[in-house]
Amino acid sequence: MAAKHALNIVKMKKMKQEQIPLTMITAYDYPSARLAEEAGVDLILVGDSLGNVVLGYDTTIPVTIEDMVYHSRSVARGAANTFIVTDLPFMTYHGSVDETMRHVRRVMQEGRAHAVKLEGGAEIAPTVQAVVQAGVPVLGHIGLTPQSVNQIGGYRIQGKDEADARRLMADAKALEQAGAFAVVLELVTEEVAQAISKELAIPTIGIGAGRGCDGQVLVFHDVLKYAPEYREKKFVKTYADIGDQIRKGISEYVQDVKTRAFPGEQHVFTADETVLNGLYGKGKVDAES
């Protein structure tokens, strides 16, 4: 059965005009996607942040196209009625157009995404244009671009001085011009993000970019405190502490097994007495237990 997406890129632009905020959260597997869809998010991002929060890397750089396809496909199974954007990982869109298109094809066909996200500004506008012309919606991503963390020199706030603010505005316009359907603004000062949001006809989706964006995106594990090292970010609001709940649950299970409180009578399957007698002899099972 065909998925009935509530949302598409035309509706997203209309939502901006009507000042209806877009809600986006990352998801990386079937259960997280399913819960996100049931909770009513507009878009799911299969972010390469999965490198940090799922695969345990320090950065997103080691994440491969195989990782993205695998996780995207799981998310698509969990959220069949939600618009899914999947990241193209590090260095998969900086070679030839053919090479980029091969990666886009994999994410769309094997990963079953509805759009791809690419990090970068004016310098990748020709690539964005080529992908859009191939019929694939592109979400831009400027500001702090984690795939370039080694070049940027850390996870720094962007748009703090005039030159940086001008560069970000030029990058945003270049992406819009190239056909991006929306742009993620990551760790950008509120004033600059607001100015960009006003200037563009396409929606901006902020993460650490303040209140003037047309939508917001957060990482699943940050929202739910699933990875302790992600707790302390100023721009994150956490809404639950599932990490703590999981730890408590597992520790109770461990205790129950150690103390033989689990399995209890209600968890066991018993055989028919006549079968037992045939197998082991009358009274033998009772005598031995």
**Residue numbers annotated as active site:** 186
- Give me the least distance between CB of 47 and ligand KIV, in Å please: 2
What lies within 8 Å, CB to CB, of 45 at 6+ separation is 24, 25, 26, 27, 84, 85, 86, 87, 117, 217
Phi, psi dihedrals of residue 19, rounded to the nearest 5°: 55, 40
| DSSP for residue 107 | I
- Give me the least distance between CB of 17 and ligand KIV, in Å please: 23
Q: Which range binds ligand KIV by CB under 6 A, 43-51, 92-100, 128-136, 188-196?
A: 43-51
Residue from 184, 187, 200, 224 touching ligand KIV (CB under 6 A): that is 184
Residue from 12, 169, 217, 223 touching ligand KIV (CB under 6 A): that is 217
Cα torsion angle, 98, 171, 148, 52, sign = negative
Closest to 171 measured CA to CA, from 207, 195, 146: 195
Cβ proximity to ligand KIV: between 210 and 276 the closer is: 210
What lies within 8 Å, CB to CB, of 48 at 6+ separation is 60, 63, 67, 68, 87, 89, 90, 146, 147
Distance CA 212, CA 208 (A): 11
- Under rule CB under 6 A, residue 219 binds ligand KIV: yes
Q: Name which of residues 85 to 104 contact ligand KIV (CB under 6 A).
A: 87
Cβ proximity to ligand KIV: between 178 and 205 the closer is: 205
Q: Which residue is nearest to ligand KIV (CB)?
A: 47
Cβ proximity to ligand KIV: between 151 and 266 the closer is: 151
- Under rule CB under 6 A, residue 222 binds ligand KIV: no
3-state class (DSSP) for residue 95: coil
Q: Name which of residues 136 to 165 contact ligand KIV (CB under 6 A).
A: 141
Run of H or E residues at 85: strand 83-87
Binding site for ligand KIV (CB under 6 A): 26, 45, 47-49, 87, 141, 184, 186, 207, 217, 219
